[in-house]
Every structure is written in structure tokens, then in C-alpha cells.
Amino acid sequence: MKYLIICLSALTLIGCANTQKKDMSAFNTAAPRSILVVPVVNKTLDVDAPVYVLTTLPIPLANKGYYVFPVNTTKYILEQEGLYEGDRILTMPVPTLAKMFGADAILYVTINRWDAQYAFIATTVTVEFDYKLVAADGTVIWEENKKMAYSPQNNGGGGLGGLIAAAISAAITRAAPNYMPLAQSAHQQVFLTGPNQLPDGPYLTPAK
């Protein structure tokens, strides 16, 4: 229930930046069946963010009906090739990377925002991602950006007591911000429910 409340609050604060449908002809032509999720590019100061984000990506893609290569195995194999960071992986030719794993497409994700901004009685937790899906031949077949934010609501009432409660809540959120529900909600909207969501994959289980 707590997770649901966080997600709904985030959705209320930040909507889709672009609701115009995009041309999906390149995607339909490529018709990928398997997706390789590579370690993400991190443009933030949080060194743990890439690991957290990487773990949240496979489930929504699998739920959409695609085979997703195990991210931990992928990460290990790339590290054996000296590719430890997402920035280094970007420099590797797409056909070479795809052939290494036998993947139909590669998902690149960049973390643009992963922060908590504190303003005395309110802390706003924000995440922002760029997503790019590239076919094995190097053709970009799908792109999306998603930004989401969440600010805990104070239910302590008004007056001095309410201000103190709000300040305490904001301080706690700043000290230990919970980014994961926002990241999961962002992926859910981008891959499964948004206006430019991925087309259903070949392994999608029909709803009963």
C-alpha cells in the first residue's frame, strides 16, 4: 500500500513530458524478440544509482513479452572484456555487442536525475531517465525520456506542530530518499502504459 501511495503521488506530480505518439515503423521492421540490457550511463553524483536502476529494468520488459538477458550475467561478461562503465559500453559498436550475446536489440539507459532537494519543510525526490533501444544492426528503433518526482505529504495538521512534523518528514526523506518506487513507476509508464510504450513482444502471455 505504501508503494502504491508513493507511485500515485509521483504520477500526480509529474506527467508525461510528451504525449504525442511516435513513429514505430523502425521498431516494427526490426521486430526484436530478445533485448540485452547493458549497464546504465550515470550522469549523477550517486555512485549506487546505476546498480539500483539496472535491477529494475528486466521485469517490465519481460512483462511486455520479450526475452531479457540476465543483467547480472551480462554485466559480468562485459566486465571480463574490460567494460565496467556504461560510458565505455556506449563506445562499443552495436553489431559487435549484439553478436556477442546473440541479442536482437540493446537497451541503453541514461540516468539524468537521481536526487533529493531539501527546502526546510519539504524534500522532493526526482529521477529522470533517457531510454534508447537499438537494433542489432545499429538502427535506433525506439527512444523515450521520463522524469518523475515525489514529495512526501505531511499529515500532521496545521500550526507549529504541523510545521515541525513536516520538517522532520522532509529531513528523514532527505537523509534516506527512496528512489526505487519512482524508478519502477517510470519504467512501468515508459514500457507498458505510456503513449509510446513498446509494442507487445512475442512472448507476452495473454491476460485471462
Taking only the tens place, the pLDDT of each residue in 28-76 is 999 999 999 999 999 999 999 999 999 999 999 999 999 999 999 999 9
pLDDT in the model for residue 101: 97
Q: 11 pLDDT band (50/70/90 cuts)?
A: very low
Average pLDDT, the chain: 82
pLDDT in the model for residue 117: 81
Quick: pLDDT tens for 91-136: 999 999 999 999 999 999 999 999 888 655 567 889 999 999 999 9
Going from N- to C-terminal start, the domains of the chain cover 22-192
pLDDT in the model for residue 5: 39
Q: Indicate whether this model's pTM tops 0.85.
A: no
pLDDT in the model for residue 152: 67
The three grid cell numbers given for residue 42, joined into one nine-digit string? 550515470
22-192: CATH superfamily: ABC-type transport auxiliary lipoprotein component (3.40.50.10610)
